[in-house]
Amino acid sequence: MKRPMRLRQNRLMRDLVAEARFTRGQLLQPLFAVEGIAADQPITGLGETARQPLDSLLKRIGADLEAGVTQFLLFPVPGTKGESGFRPDFAAKTIGEIKKRFGSDLLLWVDTCLCSLTSHGHCGVFHAKGAHAGQLDLEATRAELANLAKTYAAAGADGISPSDMMDGRVAAIRSALDGAGLGETPIMSYSTKFSSCFYGPFREAADSAPKFGDRKAYQIDARNRTDAIESSVRCAEEGADLLMVKPGMTSIDLILPIHEATGKPVGAYQVSGEYASLTLLAEKGLVSFDDALLETWAVFKRAGAQYLITYGARHAKRLGL
């Protein structure tokens, strides 16, 4: 059953999907909560965004709220990794502390993937033995993702953001949330996510670079428009409330077609490599960082993006948005 009321339930959710103009309420600031570190760790090319322990992260969120940010995308990075049976204790604690401190002042979306939890850095669980040993175990992967989503939502997450690109994961998560009495929790799906060269700084931040092979077996080939649109249509049919293209700039031609095909709000992720290109160019004196950042945001809005995940969301108020 369609549930449009999930996106009407409070002012911040309504701000996110307002169609008339581009506002600070439609910019999401990524955060990296890292277990077992004592101080902030800078991330190459991402400016003020750092890998942070919980106490420092809470201070950062407070400063971001004062700067006008209301939407956050949390990436929990646990200190202990495995291959299956993940315990999201650190993520649940982090979510709980954020919501305890800031409550309804923010919307907290939580990235839901296995890449930062696994010892091998891939986004799924692999068969350990038998005829399929070494191959992705799709059923086990969906079960793990559904468990993470339930845990995150129960801990206080305002929304779930699956980024793994496994077939059927949105349906599995939607079913798990509904079955656990968490049916009001919206899903912001990374619905069209390409296998891309532009994720480098993020993989440093989330400690998620694959230890072997690559992710081309489950992320979309950047040459394929039909697959890209159909992937978002599938996510919409499985129960996603919000759709997303990633990387943003190299997917910009797909935003409007996906919206037209699904009727869903479609956003974009200005990924780490795209954002880092601006900071590094500015460091060399080749561009004005502020002007370049605003230009990219204008292009995303021109292309029809409903919302934007960007490491520069905390600069929006300073830049006049």
Displacement of CA 321 from its chain's centroid (Å) = 22
> How far is the CA of 164 from the CAs of 124, 161, 168, 190, 246, in angstroms?
8, 9, 11, 8, 12
Q: What are the E-state strand segments in 78-124?
A: 107-112
At 24, phi and psi to the nearest 5? -60, -30
Question: Which one from 246, 264, 284, 317 is the annotated catalytic residue?
Answer: 246
Q: How many CB atoms lie within 10 A of CB 170?
A: 27
Active site residue 129: no
* SS3 state at 267: strand
Nearest to 173 by CA among 141, 205, 129, 201: 141
Nearest to 16 by CA among 149, 154, 158, 111: 158
Question: Which one from 59, 193, 264, 284 is the annotated catalytic residue?
Answer: 193
Distance separating the N- and C-terminal Cα atoms of the chain: 36
Name the helix (H) or strand (E) containing 75.
strand 71-77
Handedness of CA 238, 27, 271, 245 (dihedral sign): positive
Active site residue 216: no
User: Which amino acids are annotated catalytic?
Assistant: 193, 246
